[in-house]
Amino acid sequence: MRDGFVKAAVSSPELRVADCRFNREQLAAAAGRMAKEGVKLLVFPEYSLTGYTCNDLFLQDTLLDGALQGLREYREETKNLDLVSVLGLPYLHRGRLYNVAAVVCRGTVCGLVPKSHVPNYGEFYEARQFAPWDGPACEVRLPWGEETVLGNRLLFEARDMPEFTFGIEICEDLWTPEPPSGGLTMAGAVIVVNPSASDELTGKAAYRRELVKNQSARTLSAYLYADAGEGESTQDMVYAGHNLIVENGVILAESQPFAENHDIITEIDLYRLRSERRRMTTFPLMADPGEYGYEIRKFFVGTGEVTQLTRHYDRTPFVPATKRHREERCNEILNIQANGLAKRLRHTGCKNAVIGLSGGLDSTLALLVTVRAFDRLGLDRTGIGSVTMPCFGTTSRTYENAVRLAEELGTTLREVDIKESVSIHFRDIGHDIRVQDVTYENGQARERTQILMDIANQSGGMVIGTGDMSELALGWATYNGDHMSMYGVNCSVPKTLVRYLVQYYADTSDSPALKEILYDVLDTPVSPELLPPKEGEISQRTEDIVGPYELHDFFLYYVLRCGFPPSKIFRLAVYTFQDKYNKETIYKWLYTFFHRFFRQQFKRSCLPDGPKVGTVSVSPRGDLRMPSDASDALWKAELDRIHESLV
Catalytic machinery residues: 46, 115, 171
Rounded CA-CA distance 568/582 in Å is 16
Cβ count within 10 A of residue 22: 17
Q: How many CB atoms lie within 10 A of CB 203?
A: 7
Per-residue burial over 617-636, b = 16 or more CB atoms within 10 Å of its CB, e = otherwise: bbbeeeebeeeeeeeeeebe
Chain-centre distance for alpha carbon 140: 42
At residue 277, the 3 state secondary structure works out as helix
Which residue type, as a one-letter code, is found at position 61? Answer: D
Give the distance, in angstroms, between the CA of residue 22 and the centroid of all CA atoms in the same chain.
41
How would you classify the pairing of strands 5-10 and 41-43?
A: parallel
d(Cα 203, Cα 42) in Å, to the nearest integer? 28
Tell me how far apart the alpha carbons of residues 52 and 62 are, in angstroms, rounded to a whole number: 16
Q: Are 445 and 530 in contact (CB under 8 A)?
A: yes
Closest to 99 measured CA to CA, from 109, 86, 89, 85: 89
Between CA 413 and CA 440 the distance in angstroms is 27
Residue by residue, what is the 3-state secondary structure of 496-563? Answer: HHHHHHHHHHHHHCCCHHHHHHHHHHHHCCCCCCCCCCECCECCCCHHHHCCCHHHHHHHHHHHHHCC
H/E run at residue 646:
helix 633-646
CB atoms within 10 A of CB 382: 11
b/e 127-143 (16+ beta carbons within 10 angstroms → b)? eebbbbbeeebeebebe
Query: Phi/psi at 235 (nearest 5 deg)?
Result: -55, -45
